[in-house]
Amino acid sequence: MDAVCTRSRSLCLGARLVAFCSDLSGRSYRSAGPADATAEGNFEQEPDGHTVFICFLLYLGTRSLDKLYNFADCAGLHLILGLNALHRNPDNSWNTSSTLSLLKYSAGKKYNISWELGNEPNAYRSMVGRAVNSTQLAQDYTKLRTLLQSVRYYHRAQLYGPNAGRPRKNAILLLDGFMKNAGSVVDAVTWQHYYMDGRVNKAEDFLKTRLLDTLTEQITKVTKVVNTHTPGKKVWLGGLGPAWTGGINNLSDTYAAGFLWVNTLGMAAVQGIDVVLRHSFFDYGYTHLVDQHFNPLPDYWFSLVFKRLVGPRVLAVRVAGLQRKPQPGRVIRDKLRIYAHCTSFDKHVQLNGERLLLSDNETFPELKPKTLRAGRTIAMPPLSIGFYVIKNINAYACRR
């Protein structure tokens, strides 16, 4: 959730929001503020199946922290707090005074919290006019780890970072330097991916296969850097949305953006990304999962069905007729031909012809499948997203 929302509503997070969060306890979502890490909320699945909620705030008083932690606890979430990395000393080193006070207060309350530091450090210069290089960032994370170890209750607390931005040249250079000097300090490496510029205003752009493939390319770049310095270290997709700069009104919050979101869940799983953090849950920009009245948007329903149907084990899939060998000098990009002018701009979604709606503030509809007889052809309508469950297949990989 974003900072303005958090302050103005005094963290009045009621039963409806708790219900949304609880029902997505197997998947990850993120909402982020500006580059100075104002406010972020993330839901994610760890290997043991627990869900975490991540929040970055400009100012977090003790009462707000108590409410935030109680909300997370009520929804069955594990809380991760992102600290302000721009609280700096004159020599540009990270100022830890407020962090130590926060740690001591949280430890006294026995709050089970994990930690992050900052948000997109490679963009600090352009966003706030203050740069933090990889060496300094590594020192800051090392200092935070030392602080955690100095507080007995958080001696073994989890620490994640550096939450670098899209892996272009400057972000990759920062990540490389950070991993070289502090790769062993973090428990998982985090980075962010956004598919397109927030100024895009055409639905056709959401359906380009070249755009979908950018995620695969960027995951490869990040994992290469991580494995160079800390082989086997977990990599998390620490921020994900259809578009940066808040998204696109009536596009990134509609059915059209669902293709990017479902593609992300599938491609991240295939490439071994354990955790995906969706940006955002509500209120900031136009990439959220629920609207201003806490009504679910299409990506929420896709997430819910994905969470209920899809397990953690990924199978290798071959599609007959698509594994072709390219000729020398020619690149073949397999894709389905889709006519973008048919794209739905609806902010609702149907499952097997029935619109998905909440029956009241807390009750989700039954997700009714459509059963097909054995031997029948599976029809995939244009511009649709499908989940198909093949019963009793008993695949060897699923039995291990």
Q: What pLDDT does 11 receive?
A: 47
Contact, 267 vs 229, CB < 8 A?
no
Enter the DSSP assignment of 203.
G
Q: Which residues contact 66 (CB under 8 A, 6 or more apart)?
A: 109
State the Cα–Cα distance between residues 218 and 232, nearest whole angstrom: 18
Closest CA to 88 of 78, 79, 98: 98
| One-letter amino acid for residue 186 of the chain | V
- Cα torsion through 103, 108, 112, 115, rounded to 10: 0
Q: Which residues of 73-99 are buried (b: 16+ CB within 10 A; e: fewer)?
A: eebebbbbbbbbbbeeeeeeebebeeb
Where the chain has pLDDT below 70, the residues are: 1-14, 25-59, 198-201, 245, 282-284, 317-347, 359-362, 400
Domain boundaries, the chain: 3-309
Q: Which residues contact 399 (CB under 8 A, 6 or more apart)?
A: none
Q: What pLDDT does 132 receive?
A: 93
pLDDT in tens, 295-321: 888 888 888 888 878 877 777 766 555
Contact, 216 vs 175, CB < 8 A?
no
Residue 134, both tokens = 């990889």
Is domain 3-309 annotated with CATH 3.20.20.80? yes
